[in-house]
Amino acid sequence: MTNNKPHVAYFCMEYGLDENMRIYSGGLGILAGDILKAAKEFSYPMTGIGIMWRKGYTKQLIGQDGRPFDNYPINENIYSHAVDTGETVEVRIKDTNVKLKIWKLDKFNNATLYLLDANLPENKKYRTVTDHLYGGFNEKRIAQEIVLGIGGVKAIRKLGLSIDIYHFNEGHAVLAGTELLKEKINDGLSFEKAWNSLSDNIIFTTHTPVKEGNESHSLDSLKKMGAFNGLSREQMQKWGGSPFGMTVAGLRLARISNGVAKLHGQTSRAMWKSVDGRSPIISITNGVHRKSWVDERIIKEYQQNDLNEISNKHQEIKKELIDFIGGKTGTNLDSDKLLIGFARRAAPYKRPNLIFSKPDVINPYLESGKIQLVFSGKAHPMDDKGKDIVASIVHKAREFPHSVVFLEDYNMEIGRMLTRGVDVWLNNPRKPLEASGTSGMKAAMNGVLNLSILDGWWVEGCEHGINGWQFGDGYVGEGQDESDLYALYRVLFNDVVPTYYENKDRWKEMMFESIDSSYERFSALTMLQRYYSEMYNPQ
């Protein structure tokens, strides 16, 4: 314990700390990075455990044909940001001992993060295990999860860290449980007693609100890869089922689990209600690290209660974004026209191109430039439907080159520029499939007005017509896409556009309310305080 706060080991497959440290893919990693930054800023005892991804996630570019394609350049520069601890640990993958170098990273104002790296000559064919983030399936993925989970616990022991709580952020980390259980069994406890004594120290966060999106592996595959780690088949099946569900295993081993927004907690409890022996699932809404995402110029004027200067500074930042877009694409947008941003992982359920569904309705606004749209996002390398959506947006940008833009290779820099510089942040996932949606929080704190369906964090944050707008009334069911589209058009054309062009004073008031209603409530500090008070401190 440090100052009566438990020391937490935070396990995650990816960490978004800086665009130059390409060991993240999207929201899960950005959340993990923000947690470590808040822990450092506010002196919470937390240590991150992750993987040194030598090639990282895909560098996704747009080809001449308008379709995205994937690149995996070697990111040797990531090593320059970390310090070699001089320590290694070994994990067993299949029938081979694989050595893992332990790197220490605390360069980006983050709590200490230890990263495991298999890129050593003696590992031969296994030296590429830590090359690609989410780049493999089944056996390779299991190998990576052995590195994170089993290797992570061994690294903690090798480094002599005193850990009170093990927090598994998503199912990728749960194989750490095999090592923690084995330690207690080796001390003479039965499997059941080891499990019971361990659960007080395990916390689990679930993310994906679709059962099919939660990873599972056959017991045969896990055994073949060495993931049983000394446990029996019967014990593994009792823990995670057959096939072995990584989320199920996390929910069963933990003392308490959480969803990442109030609605997501409800969705998760309903989704996993049939899992025997699962821990209670509460809701702790995600938050963002303000120093990383909120422009200081905006916050200075907000603290002065100066609505006019908030608007002036936003206009300054908007012009910087427009220059940034021009440098990337050659497109010159108009800083006096409404600029709407949409940036997140390009997945079908997020419906990035929903706004284009009725060309006869939206096209006149694009032709006149009254509405300008800037998009960014990556599709998963294996997701052809996601890539089709990106291609359709690129096609629209080529059709309307002065009012629609797509920025390739979505990363932290693009996310930071967009959430600070656009006027409106659009979000229209198919409810209830948005777990949280922290990009909308970042936008809100910068005085950017959210236009979103009632999903994720916006259920808690929305005050319609005061700090942003909601559309769709939360309807879920047949014809949802069409219903949401018409609701989007109705609010966009009847509320958003007229307010922007005809009622600037009201827009300024809404910008202030957007910041005021989000700055404290949806900060990473508030999230971290809740983790410590509601989950990390055993009652």
Q: What would the mean pLDDT of 326-333 be, rounded to a whole number?
A: 96
Check if 8-46+138-288+525-536 and 290-522 are the same fold. Answer: yes
For residue 360, what pLDDT is reported?
97
Percent of the chain with pLDDT over 70: 99
Provide CB contacts within 8 A for 381, sequence distance 6+. 58, 60, 70, 134, 135
H helix runs in 431-473, sequence order: 438-445, 458-461
Is 142's pLDDT higher than 70? yes
The residue behind tokens 């656009």 is 422
Q: Where are the beta strands (DSSP E) in 72-139?
A: 83-93, 96-105, 113-117
Confidence band for 431, pLDDT divided at 50, 70 and 90? confident
> How long is the chain?
539
For residue 433, what pLDDT is reported?
81
Q: Which CATH architecture has domain 8-46+138-288+525-536?
A: 3-Layer(aba) Sandwich (3.40)
Task: Give pLDDT tens digits for 68-103.
Answer: 999 999 998 999 999 999 999 999 999 999 999 999
- What gap in Å lies between CA 49 and CA 157, rounded to an integer? 12
Percent of the chain with pLDDT over 90: 92
Least confident of 75-79, 210-214, 374-378, 412-416: 210-214
Q: Bridge-partner residues for 102, per DSSP?
A: 116
For residue 52, what pLDDT is reported?
98
Residue type, 314: H
Is 467's pLDDT higher than 80? yes
Distances (CA, A) of 307 to 295, 303, 418, 502: 15, 10, 21, 17
Q: What would the mean pLDDT of 465-488 be, rounded to a whole number?
A: 90
Confidence band for 428, pLDDT divided at 50, 70 and 90? very high
Task: Give pLDDT tens digits for 244-277.
Answer: 999 999 999 999 999 999 999 999 999 999 999 9
Is 509's pLDDT higher than 70? yes
Q: What would the mean pLDDT of 190-212 be, rounded to a whole number?
A: 92
Task: Give pLDDT tens digits for 278-308.
Answer: 999 999 999 999 999 999 999 999 999 999 9
Model-wide pTM > 0.85: yes
Confidence band for 1, pLDDT divided at 50, 70 and 90? low
Is 539's pLDDT higher than 80? no
Confidence band for 419, pLDDT divided at 50, 70 and 90? very high
Provide CB contacts within 8 A for 2, sequence distance 6+. 45
Task: Give pLDDT tens digits for 40-50.
Answer: 999 999 999 99
Q: What would the mean pLDDT of 340-362 be, rounded to a whole number?
A: 95
Task: Give, in degrees to the nearest 5, the angle at Cα 130 between 531 and 91.
Answer: 80
For residue 288, what pLDDT is reported?
98
Q: What would the mean pLDDT of 154-174 be, rounded to a whole number?
A: 97
Contact in structure between 167 and 9 (CB atoms under 8 Å): yes
Task: Give, in degrees to the nearest 5, the angle at Cα 393 between 392 and 398.
Answer: 95
Q: Where are the domains of the chain?
A: 8-46+138-288+525-536, 290-522
Task: Give pLDDT tens digits for 223-233.
Answer: 999 999 999 99
For residue 538, what pLDDT is reported?
61
- What gap in Å lies between CA 458 and CA 464, rounded to an integer? 10
Across the chain, mean pLDDT equals 96
Q: Which CATH architecture has domain 290-522?
A: 3-Layer(aba) Sandwich (3.40)
- What gap in Å lies between CA 245 and CA 376, rounded to an integer? 32
Contact in structure between 317 and 324 (CB atoms under 8 Å): no
For residue 252, what pLDDT is reported?
98
- What gap in Å lies between CA 11 and CA 285, rounded to an integer? 19
Q: What would the mean pLDDT of 148-173 be, rounded to a whole number?
A: 98
Is 12's pLDDT higher than 70? yes
Is 324's pLDDT higher than 60? yes
Burial class (CB in 10 A: 0-12, 13-18, 19+), 77: exposed
Is 493's pLDDT higher than 80? yes
